[in-house]
Structure 1
Amino acid sequence: MYRLNNRAFEILRAEVQNCSGVDQVSKIEQQLVIKRLEKMRSCKGDAATLDELRDTVVDVYPQFSEKALKLAARANQPPGIFSKLKWTVMFLTSSAGVIWLVNLPFPMIRRPVAEKAPILLLPSFISMDYHYRGAINAVEQADQLVNKATSSADIDRGAGKVKEAQKHLDNLPVWFLGYYPQTYCGLFACTWKFTLDEFEQARQQVARMDAKVFQEKNAFGSLNKGEQTLEGAKQQYQQAKNASEREKAIASWQAAIDSLEQLPNVTLSAETAEIKLKAYKRDFENARIGTFIAAAQEFDIEAEQTKQKQPQAASQLWQQAITRLGEIPQENPRYLEAQKLLTSYQIKISSVVDQRSGTLIESAKQFAFAAAKASQNPPHSAIEWEKIEQLWKKAIAQLESIRVEEPGYLEAQKLLATYQTNVGIVQTRFSAEQESQEILKAANRQIQNLIASPPSDRNQFKGEMQGIINQLRTIKPGTTAYAEAQQLLTAAYKKLK
C-alpha cells in the first residue's frame, strides 16, 4: 500500500498550482512540492496523515488551503468495511438480477441459456425439482384422501392437497418436459421424468379430484342438513302433546329420511348415510307405529266422551282409530296389540251404529206417518201438497243417512223405495192442483168478460162459451177446483141450449 494514493495526489497538486505564481521562483517552489508528493506517492507504507501532508507543503506554501489538506487526507484513507460491503452488495445484486433475468419462465430466454450456460439456470432446476417432487407427493396424497376417503376430515385434507398439487403443477414450465440437464442432474440426481402426456394426465387427475371434492362437500352439506332436520323432528316428536302434533313431527321425520336417501350414490356421504339410515328407519318405524296406536287411543277416549250425545261423531272417531291401526304392518312387533284394539273399537262402533240406524228408521217412520195422515181426505190445496211432500222428503233424508255397514240398511232401503214412490205421487197431485187452479182462474176471467161484453152474434157467443167449456173439462178430478169447474160446466151447457 502506497503512502499517498492517486486521488489524494491530484487534490494536492491542484491546490499547489492554485498557490503557485508565474515567475521563475514560483515554478521552482511548485516543482519542489510536487517532487515531495510524488516521492510520498511512490513510497510504500502507512497512509500519510493530515499532519504529514501539512508538513510537506506548509513550509513552501504557508497559505496552503486547510480544506484541500483535509479533503486529500480523507481521500488517502484506505477503504473501510462498509465500503467493501457496499461493493459486495452491488455485485451480488447485479448477479442476482442477471440470474433472475435468465431464469424467467420464457422458452426464448431459457433455451439459449440452457444450451450455452446451463449453470445459470440452477435456480430453475432447483425449483423444477422441488415442484416436481411436491406435485408427485401432493397428487398421491390427494388421491388417497379423496378417492379413498373415510370421513369428511379426509375430504377437507384432500382438498388442501389438491390445491397444493395444482400449485406445484402450475409452477412446472411445460418447456422443460423431456429436457434433462446433464450437468445439474449428474450432481444432484434429478427426479423429474414427466412427459407431456404424463403431465396432462396429472393435471386431469387433479381436476377430477377437485371436482370430486366439490361434490363431496355439497353432499356432506346435504347430509348435515338432513341429519339436523331429522334430529329436529325427533325432538318435535318427543315434545308433542297430542296426536296431531306427533303426526306433524312424523311427517318431518319422513321428509328428512327421504332427503338422506336422495344423496348421490357415488359420494362418501351416501355411504355414510346408508349406514345411519338403518338406525334412522328403525327409530322412525317405532315412532310411527307408536303414533298410530297413541292416536287411536286418543280417538277412543274422545269417542267415549261423545257417544251419548253425538253417536254419529263417536262412530266417526272410532272409524278413524280403526283406520290408524289398520296401517300397522303384520311384521311389526306391536301388530297383535293393534289388532286387539282394532277389534274392541269395531265392537264399540257396532253398538253405536245399531242404535243409530234404529233411531233413524224410527224417525223416518214418524215423518212418513205425518205425511200420510196429512194426505188423507183429498182434495188439498197446492200449499198443503207441498207440505206433505216436504214431510216425505224428511223421512227419505233420515233413511239415506244410514250407511251400508249398518244393520238397519236393508230395512231402510225398502222403506226408501216406498217413500220415494209416495213423493212422486204427491208431486203429481201438487202439479195437478196448480194447473187446475190456473185453468179455473182463466175460465172465470173469460166468463166475466163474456158477461160484461156479450157479443151480438149468437154464433160468436156459442164459440166463446165452447172454449170456456173445453178449458173446464181439462180440470182433473181430485183437485179443489174440480167441484167448481163442474158447476160452471153445467151452467155453460145451459147457455148453449
Structure 2
Amino acid sequence: MYRLNDSAFKILRSELLNCGSNNDIGRKERQIVAKRFEKLRKEKGSPITFEELLLLVVDVFPDFSEKAIRKAVKANQPPGIFSDLKWVAIVVASIGGAIWLVNLPLPMIRKPVAEKAPFLLLPSYISMDNGYREAIGAIEQADRLINNATSLEDIKQSSEKVKQAQRSLDDLPTQLLGYYPQVYCGLFECTWEFTVDEFETARRRVARIDAQAFQEKNAFESVKQAEETLKVAKQQYEEAKNTGDKKKAIAQMQTAMITLLQIPRQTLAGKKALTIIAVSQPDLAKIIAKDGKSGVSGNLIEAAKVFAMQAAQASQNPPHPTYKWEQVEKLWLEAIKRLRNIDATNPNYLEAQKLLAKYQSNQGIIQTRLQAERESQKILNQAEVQIERFIANPPSELNQYKARLQTIVSKLKTVQSGTTSYKRAQELISSIQKQLKE
C-alpha cells in the first residue's frame, strides 16, 4: 500500500496549481512540492497523516489550503469493509429490481404472480393496506368534521381531509382489486377486502363529502355577501335625502333578505342566515311600514324577478353537476311560488301570469338538464366500474377481450352531451378504441 493514492494526489495537485506566482520562482516552488507528493505516491507504508502533509508544504507555501489537505487525507483512506460487500450490494439490487418489476401496475404480470408467488407482491400489499387505511381514516375525519361543523374553519378542514382521502384512493394499486392477500392479511390483520364494491363505496363517500363541503362554502359566501348588502343598504336608507334613495335602499334590503331565505336550511350557513333574518326582519318591517305609501313594500313580482335573475345567473356556463342544477331549480320554484300568491283581483295579476308561464317553462328545462346529469353520471360510474373489473381480470381470449371493451364503449356512448360526465366519457371511449385497434 502506497502512502498517497491517486485520488488524494489529484486533490493536492489541483490546489498546488493555485499556489505561488506565475514567474520562474513560483514555478520552481511548485515543482519542489510536486516532487514531494510524487515521492509519497511511490513510497509504501501507512497513509500519510494531516500533520505530515502540512509539514511537506508549509515551508514553501504557508497559505496552502488546510481544507484541501483534509480532503486529500480523507480520500487517502484505505477501502473499508463495505468495498468487500459490493457484490452483495449488486445481488441485493438485482433482487430489488425483480421485486420492483413484478409490482408494476401491469395485470399480465401481477395476476400470475398473485396466484403463484403472492409474497413477491408484498410491497404492493403494504402500499394497498397503508393507502386504504389512510383513505378510510381521512374519509371518517372529513365526515365527522362536515356533519358536526360549528364554523367555516371546520368545513375547510373537512375539505382538506377529503382531498387527502382522494389522493390516497388514487394511489391505490387498483389492478389488485379482488385479490385478497391472505398471507399478508393473516400477519397484519387486514380489516378490508379491497373489492370493487368497497372501493366504489369509498369513492362515492369522497364525492358526497366533497360536494357537501363545496355547498357549505358557497352558502357561507352567499351569507357573507347578503349580510354586507343588508348592512350597507340600511345605512344608505338612514342617510337617504329623498324618496327615490329610500326606495333603492329598501329594494336592496329586500334582495339581501331574499338571498338569505334561499340559503339551504340543512347547511351551517343556513342556520346563520336564519339568525340574521330573525334579527333584521323586525327593523325591515318597520321601515316598509313607514314608507308603505312609496309602493315598495312586499312586491311579490319584484321578489319573483329577483329569484328568476339569480336562477338565470346560476345556470350560466353549463354543464353543471347535479347539486348545482338542483339549486337552480329551487330558485325557479321560489320565483313561481311568489307569482302564484298573486290572486286574480290584484292589478298585477296579468303580468304575474305571463311571468308564471315563462318561469314554469324554464323550470321544466332545468328539470330535463338535471335528469340528464343524473343519468349520465350514473352511466359513467357504471362504466368506470366495468373498466376497473376488466383491468383486474382481463379475458385471455382475444374475441372476448374486444367484446367486453366494445360493450363498455357502447355504454359510454349513451352519456349525453352537455353534461359534466360527457368529456370524461369521450376520453375513455378514445382510449378504449385505441386498444381495440392494436
TM-score bracket relative to the smaller structure:
0.3 to 0.5
Report the TM-score, using the length of structure 1 for normalisation: 0.40
Report the TM-score, using the length of structure 2 for normalisation: 0.45
**Which structure exhibits the higher relative contact order, with contacts defined as CA atoms closer than 8 Å and separated by 6 or more residues?**
2
When Rg is computed on C-alpha atoms for both structures, the one with the higher figure is: 1
